[in-house]
Amino acid sequence: MTEAPAHDRGTRSREAILDTATDLMSRHGYAATSISMISAACGLPASSIYWHFGSKDGIYVAVLQRARITLETALPSIDVPGADVAQRLDSFLEALTVVFQRHPHGTKLLLGLSMLQQSASAEAVAELHRYRDTLMAWARGALSRVFDLGDRPEVSEELARFTLRTASGTAVARWFEPAASLDIEPLRVALRALAAHRSGVPAGKTPRVGHP
Amino acid sequence: MTEAPAHDRGTRSREAILDTATDLMSRHGYAATSISMISAACGLPASSIYWHFGSKDGIYVAVLQRARITLETALPSIDVPGADVAQRLDSFLEALTVVFQRHPHGTKLLLGLSMLQQSASAEAVAELHRYRDTLMAWARGALSRVFDLGDRPEVSEELARFTLRTASGTAVARWFEPAASLDIEPLRVALRALAAHRSGVPAGKTPRVGHP
DNA sequence: GTCTATAAAGTGATAGAC
DNA sequence: GTCTATCACTTTATAGAC
């Protein structure tokens, strides 16, 4: 008898399928990734893939789910270290850079979601939202600590939304310049200015300039 | 004889095909949009589509090309009106909002580019870049006027890049909240802060805080 | 330029032996 | 759990009449 532990071989196959599916789908998108492509790339026959995941949609859901769980466990603490705002902001931005660089699957998968409009199953859409909610919650919590916004949840929300949109925009930019990095510096300046702006201005009030 | 002018009927068909292809591809993405879908939606048989565009890729290129030309002619003047910075910035942001709302095809098409990695033809990639370059050039020029940056092209470049990434990020956010708007206010604050930051700091120098 | 008809290959998915 | 073999369907693309 082999020394192989209780782990079934099936579990390993499952992971292997998920690995290649994650890779292919994040590179080509959901629609452009076929079962036969996955089968050829991971060595297992198509029927095994169906045995594990039931359908192409099932693979997509499983891929998203695993990506989200991986992200969750890898996400740095919300309690960003640092004595003053500048230091904590730096910690946050560094953490964000790490997340952005080490979990490109997530951002790319979120973009390979051309399927959302019609072909997406309810499960896939739900999983997609869960992934994004995870990121939002982390950014919101961390930014609340950075700028000490415990009493101003709307401001944390706004800063987090802004941060995530910048990150998404950078992910898009990568299609054109694959080397595009997160551009920490403008984001730092922007976040500080936004936080200061919202601190000096009563919540809800928005000073407009010019136009009626 | 009919009053119909020299315009061939073929030209109209061509436009009709492009219309529906633009709609379908921006909603479902390139890969998920089939010739038969386009054929069914626009009424013309598949062979007519091939007669006009030669291949599926050819349709995509033509769609992108037309979208870019439409954008170019619709793009407001780079010479943003306004006496002071605040007014000109407001003009720019309003123009940006209009572009963003009235040309969603473009932003969505840029995102339906899952095809870039492998299946994309050189022509399609080139056209995609041209579309983006058009937007960047406009934003760069306009922001240069807004903040009077004639002598600091790197700053205009940075501001434009930041603006476009924010806009792209918002386009992504629309998958989750279809009602998501461009969030002019944070962008305004961020751009002013960035411009001020770059004016006060010598070009190239970047003050870092904290970490070594 | 537009149509019908069809070729050739690929797709998602399943049956059943092992 | 994994394999071979296959079904029913859709895909891109073309041929040729009109």
CA distance A56 to B77: 48
Is A40 part of any domain?
Answer: no
Give the mean pLDDT of A13-32: 94
Residues 6+ apart with CB under 8 A from B51: none
pLDDT over 70 (residue B99): yes
Residues 6+ apart with CB under 8 A from A184: A93, A97
Handedness of CA A50, A54, A59, A65 (dihedral sign): negative
Residue-range definition of the domain harbouring residue A178: 56-200
CA distance A118 to B25: 12
Separation in Å, CA A73 to CA A22, A91, A106: 18, 18, 14
More confident residue, B119 or A34: A34
Give the mean pLDDT of A98-109: 84
Backbone region of residue A112 per phi and psi (left: phi > 0; alpha: psi in -120 to 50; beta: other values)? alpha
More confident residue, A108 or B143: B143
pLDDT of residue A120: 74
pLDDT of residue A114: 58
CA distance B62 to B51: 13
- Residue-wise pLDDT tens digits, B34-55: 999 999 999 999 999 999 999 9
User: Does the distance separating the beta carbons of B173 and A169 come in below 8 Å?
Assistant: no
Nearest neighbour of A86 by CB, restricted to B30, B110, B209? B209
User: Tokens standing for B57?
Assistant: 């890729």
For residue A167, give how far its alpha carbon lies from the nearest alpha carbon of chain B (Å).
7
Handedness of CA B167, B171, B174, B176 (dihedral sign): negative
CATH number at residue A91: 1.10.357.10
**Structural contact between residues A86 and B210, judged by C-beta atoms closer than 8 angstroms:** yes
| Tokens 């409009």, residue located | A117
pLDDT of residue A210: 44
Could you tell me the distance in Å between the CA of residue B154 and the C1' of nucleotide D11? 47
The residue type at B65? Q
Read off the pLDDT band of A90 (50, 70, 90): very high
Could you tell me the distance in Å between the CA of residue B32 and the C1' of nucleotide D8? 20
DSSP sequence for A57-126: HHHHHHHHHHHHHHHHHHSPPSS---SSHHHHHHHHHHHHHHHHHH-HHHHHHHHS-GGGTTT--HHHHH
pLDDT of residue A116: 65
**Structural contact between residues B90 and B82, judged by C-beta atoms closer than 8 angstroms:** yes
- Residue-wise pLDDT tens digits, B109-143: 775 665 666 667 889 989 989 999 999 999 999 99
Helix ranges, chain B (H):
9-28, 35-42, 46-53, 56-74, 85-102, 104-111, 122-146, 153-173, 184-200
Chain C nucleotides covered by protein, CB below 7 Å: 1-6, 10-16
Dihedral angle over CA of B83, B87, B89, B92, nearest 10: -90
Is A61 part of any domain?
Answer: yes
Is A62 part of any domain?
Answer: yes
Report DSSP state, residue A177: -
Read off the pLDDT band of B18 (50, 70, 90): very high
A34 touches strand D (CB under 7 A): no
CA distance B100 to A120: 25
pLDDT of residue A115: 61
- Residue-wise pLDDT tens digits, A161-176: 999 999 999 988 988 8
Is A42 part of any domain?
Answer: no
User: Tokens standing for A208?
Assistant: 């407009």
Give the mean pLDDT of A105-113: 72
| Rg over CA atoms, chain A | 21
Q: Is A75 on the interface with B (CB under 8 A)?
A: no
CA distance B126 to B142: 24
pLDDT over 50 (residue A82): yes
**Structural contact between residues B138 and B201, judged by C-beta atoms closer than 8 angstroms:** no
Q: How many CB atoms lie within 10 A of CB B131?
A: 22
Average pLDDT, chain B: 89
CA A12 to chain centre: 25
pLDDT of residue B112: 67
Percentage of residues in chain A having pLDDT higher than 90 = 71
Read off the pLDDT band of A153 (50, 70, 90): very high
User: Does the distance separating the beta carbons of B193 and A190 come in below 8 Å?
Assistant: yes
Is A82 part of any domain?
Answer: yes
**Structural contact between residues A187 and B158, judged by C-beta atoms closer than 8 angstroms:** no
Give the mean pLDDT of B93-107: 90
CA distance A71 to A81: 20
Domain count, chain B: 1
Dihedral angle over CA of A76, A78, A83, A89, nearest 10: 80
CA A168, A174, A177 angle in degrees (round to 5)? 145
Residues of chain A contacting B104 with CB distance shorter than 8 Å: none
Q: Is B189 on the interface with A (CB under 8 A)?
A: yes
User: Does the distance separating the beta carbons of A87 and B28 come in below 8 Å?
Assistant: no
pLDDT over 90 (residue A29): no
Q: Which of A7-11, A182-186, B82-86, B186-190 has the lowest mean pLDDT?
A: A7-11
Is B19 part of any domain?
Answer: no
CA distance A183 to A170: 8
Is A96 part of any domain?
Answer: yes
Is A192 part of any domain?
Answer: yes
pLDDT over 60 (residue A77): yes
User: Tokens standing for A35?
Assistant: 């079962």
Q: Is A175 on the interface with B (CB under 8 A)?
A: yes
Report DSSP state, residue B84: S
Average pLDDT, chain A: 89
